[in-house]
Amino acid sequence: MQVDSVQRWMEDLKLMTECECMCVLQAKPISLEEDAQGDLILAGGPGPGDPLQLLLKRGWVISTELRRIGQKLAQDRWARVHSMSVRLTCHARSMVSEYSAVSRNSSQEMSQIEKLLMEKCSELSAVTERCLQVENEHVLKSMKACVSETLSTLGEHFGQLLELALTREVQALVRKIDASDNIYTTESTTGNLFSLTQEGAPLCRIIAKEGGVVALFKICRQDTLRCLYPQALRTLASICCVEEGVHQLEKVDGVLCLADILTDDSHSEATRAEAAAVVAQVTSPHLPFTQHLSSFLESMEEIVTALVKLCQEASSGEVFLLASAALANITFFDTMACEMLLQLNAIRVLLEACSDKQRVDTPYTRDQIVTILANMSVLEQCASDIIQENGVQLIMGMLSEKPRSGTPAEVAACERVQQKAAVTLARLSRDPDVAREAVRLSCMSRLIELCRSPSERNSSDAVLVACLAALRRLAGVCPEGLQDSDFQQLVQPRLVDSFLLCSNMEESFV
């Protein structure tokens, strides 16, 4: 951590110093060798030929300064507000001049916003300087409102300028992909586009609006560029985290292209896994706009079939995770998917994979499997398939899911596995055969333990509710498996009363 912190500090320091001073220093030759001098200038900040990195780094610095000025303003630390305003002006001027030096001719709109930005920077510096001379609190209070308004307007101009500049650079990348007949140029440009998607949703929206999705699917439809399919698909999966990306995918028949890739065994496993990742993204139940992807229903059967096959043949945990995540999301997307999975013997494929550590080795993967089982368990035929494949014992094991590393993400994944395992058990226990098998395997004891011991469920209320529901369902079939105290506290009262009792309970089995 110390090394990472120091490295980050050194990187930020290059941009946080006084910009005019840096310009003077860089203008003085340190070495007689031109190459050495050029290396020094490159090391001092973004490369002269890399406008995107320049925009991103300068944009981060200016955004940080704006946020900090707002914080100091709220604390009435006027000296700091003024000094930071001057520094902000330096950074804004540097961004404008540096970008102008490396980019093509600016548009009239950009020039106008640049002018407005610099005017507001000057205004902010001037008004904060006047505030330093004011002692009257009432006057200072009215001036504070003026400073706040100026800061807000400055932030808007900066955001507009940055978006225009980034849009321009994204347009250049997309044109480069479209026009390129060189595989290495296309690979490099696609890599740059992927890097941009990692900067957040705003950039993904810009890429989608400026034809990035269209250009990437163009790559995925050329046999001569098959080696670039994984990279292009990975970029598409990132772009489709925003609504604009999904809409563009539907416009270019992207779902049909994904179905063709998934069902074509001549494609590498890596390519099909990345296609599965795009499917998982565009069917995510957490994104409301994906539920209106009408074109998906037309290709759903062949996509589901291909994904089950990919799960069965996966050579690594990562490939299985991507394929199973896509299947899990599809079971939320449309109820017909569960019936298709039953016909494809998906339960057997998934449960067999649970015993293969090469494919299923993390709680994240088990989360996908138990999600599919929970959604399929609403179908009556599912119960017999579960019993036939010894699925009740595997679900019982998922009730004991524990994190290895203790990271928040892994702990949350384990909670989801426990919750969904209990939900699956409750649904399947409508079938008396499943309920009796669960009782035989001591599922009731484990459910009671999860209810009464907060540490066993990481104090999760969601796990508690699911376990109480499952326990009540099993108790209806086999009440003799419960002690009187368990029945009176966990089954007999209203669910909400049992929940309140257990959620306030110290660790005790009494």
Query: Can you tell me the mean pLDDT for 139-143?
Result: 82
Q: Are residues 429 and 495 in the same domain?
A: yes
Tell the residue number behind the tokens 């990132």, with chain if given.
238
Nearest to 186 by CA among 246, 258, 235, 242: 235
The most confident of the ranges 17-21, 370-374, 499-503 is: 370-374
Predicted pLDDT at 76: 85
Predicted pLDDT at 390: 86
Q: Are residues 110 and 153 in the same domain?
A: yes
Nearest to 57 by CA among 95, 112, 110, 28: 95
Residues 205-264: pLDDT tens digits? 999 999 999 999 999 999 999 999 999 999 999 999 999 999 999 999 999 999 999 999
What DSSP assignment string belongs to 356-377? Answer: -TTT--SHHHHHHHHHHHHHHT
Domain assignment present for 16? no
Task: Catalogue the E-assigned strands of 112-204.
Answer: none
The DSSP 8-state label assigned to residue 315 in this structure reads S
Q: Are residues 109 and 251 in the same domain?
A: no
* Start-to-end CA span in the chain (Å): 45
Tell the residue number behind the tokens 């990348």, with chain if given.
173
Query: Can you tell me the mean pLDDT for 337-347?
Result: 93
Query: Can you tell me the mean pLDDT for 369-386?
Result: 91
Predicted pLDDT at 43: 34
Nearest to 399 by CA among 349, 452, 456: 456
* Nearest-angstrom CA–CA distance, 217 and 509: 58
Q: Are residues 84 and 228 in the same domain?
A: no
Predicted pLDDT at 47: 47
Task: Catalogue the E-assigned strands of 103-180.
Answer: none
Domain assignment present for 438? yes
Query: Can you tell me the mean pLDDT for 255-283?
Result: 95
Query: Can you tell me the mean pLDDT for 180-203?
Result: 92
More confident residue, 288 or 425: 425
**Neighbouring C-beta atoms of residue 31, cutoff 10 Å:** 11
Q: Are residues 219 and 338 in the same domain?
A: yes
Reply yes or no on whether the pLDDT at 510 is more than 60: no
The DSSP 8-state label assigned to residue 287 in this structure reads -
C-beta separation of 490 from 451 below 8 A: yes
Query: Can you tell me the mean pLDDT for 12-35?
Result: 47
* Nearest-angstrom CA–CA distance, 394 and 197: 38
Q: Are residues 333 and 443 in the same domain?
A: no
* Nearest-angstrom CA–CA distance, 151 and 133: 20
Domain end, chosen from 101, 134, 165, is at 165
Residues 384-400: pLDDT tens digits? 888 888 889 999 999 99
* Nearest-angstrom CA–CA distance, 168 and 149: 29
Domain assignment present for 97? yes
Q: Are residues 192 and 290 in the same domain?
A: yes
C-beta separation of 193 from 153 below 8 A: no
Predicted pLDDT at 232: 96
pLDDT band at 24 (very low <50, low <70, confident <90, very high): very low
CATH number of the domain that residue 197 is part of? 1.25.10.10
Q: Are residues 201 and 329 in the same domain?
A: yes
Q: Looking at the 3D structure of the chain, how many domains does it have? A: 3
* Nearest-angstrom CA–CA distance, 315 and 309: 12
Q: Are residues 406 and 496 in the same domain?
A: yes
Domain assignment present for 490? yes
Query: Can you tell me the mean pLDDT for 68-86?
Result: 90
Domain assignment present for 264? yes
CA distances in angstroms from 78 to 74, 91, 154, 500, listed in the order given? 10, 20, 18, 51
Query: Can you tell me the mean pLDDT for 194-208?
Result: 93
pLDDT band at 273 (very low <50, low <70, confident <90, very high): very high
What DSSP assignment string belongs to 44-56? Answer: TSS-TT-HHHHHH
* Nearest-angstrom CA–CA distance, 131 and 264: 69
Domain end, chosen from 306, 326, 344, is at 344
Domain end, chosen from 165, 198, 228, is at 165
Buried b (16+ CB within 10 A) or exposed e, 316-340: ebebbbbbbbbbbbbbbbbeebbeb
Residues 43-69: pLDDT tens digits? 344 444 578 888 888 888 999 999 999
Domain assignment present for 173? no
Supply the range of the domain harboring residue 433.
394-509
SS3 track for 299-313: HHHHHHHHHHHHHHH
Q: Are residues 117 and 258 in the same domain?
A: no
Predicted pLDDT at 49: 55
CATH number of the domain that residue 113 is part of? 1.20.120
Q: Are residues 280 and 148 in the same domain?
A: no
pLDDT band at 13 (very low <50, low <70, confident <90, very high): low
Q: Are residues 185 and 313 in the same domain?
A: yes
Coil vs helix vs strand at 400: coil
Domain assignment present for 172? no
Reply yes or no on whether the pLDDT at 30 is more than 60: no
Domain assignment present for 107? yes
Nearest to 351 by CA among 319, 322, 324: 324
Residues 458-468: pLDDT tens digits? 889 999 999 99
Residues in the chain: 510
Q: Which residue type occupies 236?
A: L
What DSSP assignment string belongs to 453-466? Answer: -GGGGTT-HHHHHH
Residues 178-187: pLDDT tens digits? 998 899 999 9
Tell the residue number behind the tokens 């966990």, with chain if given.
490
Predicted pLDDT at 104: 66
* Nearest-angstrom CA–CA distance, 144 and 141: 5
Chain mean pLDDT for the chain: 86
pLDDT band at 422 (very low <50, low <70, confident <90, very high): very high
C-beta separation of 259 from 275 below 8 A: no
